Structure formats: structure tokens, C-alpha cells
Amino acid sequence: MKVAPDKTCMQFSIRRSKLPSSETHPEESMYKRLGVSAWLNHLNELGQVEEEYKLRKAIFFGGIDVSIRGEVWPFLLRYYSHESTSEEREALRLQKRKEYSEIQQKRLSMTPEEHRAFWRNVQFTVDKDVVRTDRNNQFFRGEDNPNVESMRRILLNYAVYNPAVGYSQGMSDLVAPILAEVLDESDTFWCFVGLMQNTIFVSSPRDEDMEKQLLYLRELLRLTHVRFYQHLVSLGEDGLQMLFCHRWLLLCFKREFPEAEALRIWEACWAHYQEADV
């Protein structure tokens, strides 16, 4: 750390650690980022994904080129099945667009009393969050940006679709990157549904789910960083609550890394490589 000459500010120098080869996966450098040609090679003449395991492995190690994220992410988020044909996916999109419209209509058709309760429990927080989510991203930048309104509708409609979860602060941070890549509002909504239902990487806002994730993290620390784990134990209950990492879990490390790296982490987790049940 260096103090500026005029002492009006402090400058921090951050060094990125580089793991020695002995600590990296032996296949770490064998896979390039999944590009257009490699992706097309995984599709047969009907548009079905072939060699799914190899595809997930390639994504886990190499990530996905930005140009095709919008096409590949719906598969990773279980909106599309790998066995589906191009025609079946188009039919699904039409069906899901109709379902999404019905969900929105249900929200818009609330009685005055229902709407007051919804505004108090959901909409008030959503309205505050969306206007400050990813505003540095060109996709959401500027006043009266229609993409911000799309994000707002997705979150409000999700609260109607899944009232047991509703909306909690931080969910806008999960929706925004998906919308910016997938672009279509209805498709993004169903991708977000898949994210909340099918990935172990996102912890829903419920306390029991967060505690389950913290349990996994404590066990990992106990096995891999014994001294740090023992330090947390020595601090008592406060140390083991690990309040410092709650945001990591709720926002999937989105605010702890530059966006490009955070989304790369998301893709690796969504690939579910080397998991028994995918």
C-alpha cells in the first residue's frame, strides 16, 4: 500500500496470485474457449447437442465465447434440453412466451388490496434495486433505458410465478447478466427460473439454504485451510457464521471479481462437470 504525496487518498496495489502447476488441474490448459465453430460441431443436423459430456467439460475448462453466450446459456440453465431439436426449441419458446404473458397478466390483474400488498412486499424493493444494477454496463446505461424496465418486469413476474421465494435484494444482480446476453425478456425469465431451480451455485435468500451453503464452505475450509478454519473456531459462534462471505454466496461472486471473470465462474459452475447428477 502506498500513500499519495498529498496524503489525500490511499492507493492499493493488488497482485493476482498464480497457482503453481502442481495445484492446477492437469487438463487446465488443454481446452480453448468454446467458439462458434466448436459449438456448431456439437450440433447435429436437427440441432440436437451431441457429446454433451465433452461439451460441459470444454465449457468448464475453457468458458464460452461472448458471441454465443446467448445461445448456449439457455442449455446450461435447463431452459432447453440437449436432446431438443431446433424446431422443438422454437415451439417451446412460443409456448413459454405465452406462459410468461399469462404470468404478467396475473400480476397486472391484481385487486387493489393485492396490489398494495405486492407493492409493499416486492415491488418497492425491486424498483429501488433495478435502477442501480449494472448501470455501468452499456446494456443498462442511460435514463429511461428499456432494458432496465425489462429487468424490472422479469423480477416482478418471477415473484408472482414463485411467491414462496418472491424477491430478495441481490436477485437483480443475477438476472441482469442473463438479460444482457440472452436479450429476449421471456427467454431470460425462464433462464432465471432454471438458475433458481437447478444450479447448486446460487443460494436462495432463505436462511436454511444459506446455512447449507455455509456448511459446505466450512467443511471445505476445514479440509483445505486448517489454520484459517481453526482461527474461525477460536472466534466462537461469530467467526463460524462467516458473515463476510454471505454476499459471495448470494451474488455468486459477482461483486468480488471483474464481470468477465465472474461470468466465467458462473459458466464453469453451470456446466456441472464431474457431477454425479446433472
- pLDDT (mean) for 99-105: 98
State the pTM of this model.
Answer: 0.83
Domain containing 121 — which CATH number? 1.10.8.270
Let me know the angle formed at the C-alpha of 24 by 22 and 29, rounded to the nearest 5 degrees. Answer: 115
| Count of structural domains, the chain | 3
Dist CA 27 CA 57 (whole Å): 10
If asked whether residues 149 and 241 sit together in one domain, one would say no
Q: Which residues pair with 11 in a beta bridge?
A: 2
**Which range of residues forms the domain containing residue 38?**
12-76
Per-residue pLDDT band for 14 (boundaries 50, 70, 90) equals very low
Residue 24 buriedness (CB in 10 A; 0-12 / 13-18 / 19+): exposed
- 119 inside domain: yes
What is the pLDDT confidence band of residue 277, given thresholds at 50, 70 and 90?
A: low
Does residue 168 share a domain with residue 141? yes
Are the C-beta atoms of residues 199 and 269 closer than 8 Å to each other? yes
Q: Does one domain contain both 132 and 90?
A: yes
Is residue 247 included in any domain, yes or no? yes
Residues 174, 221, single domain; the answer is: no
- Answer whether residue 123 is part of any domain: yes
Most confident range, picked from 5-14, 26-35, 147-156, 198-207 = 147-156
By residue count, the chain amounts to 278
Sort 210 into a burial class: Cβ within 10 Å, 0-12 / 13-18 / 19+: middle
Which cell numbers hold the place of 70?
446467448
- Give yes or no: residues 189 and 226 share one domain: no
Let me know if residue 230 belongs to a domain.
Answer: yes
The average pLDDT across 172-201 equals: 91
Q: Does residue 81 fall inside a structural domain?
A: no
Is residue 2 domain-resident?
Answer: no
Name the band, by pLDDT with cuts 50, 70 and 90, for residue 253.
confident
Please count the CA atoms within 13 angstroms of the CA of 5 that sit on its side-chain side. Answer: 0
User: Which of 198, 219, 243 delimits the end of a domain?
Assistant: 198
pLDDT band at 110 (very low <50, low <70, confident <90, very high): very high
Same domain, 157 and 245: no
pLDDT digits (tens, 9 = 90+) for 218-240: 888 898 889 989 998 998 888 88
In a domain, 180, yes or no: yes
Does the pLDDT at position 274 exceed 50? yes
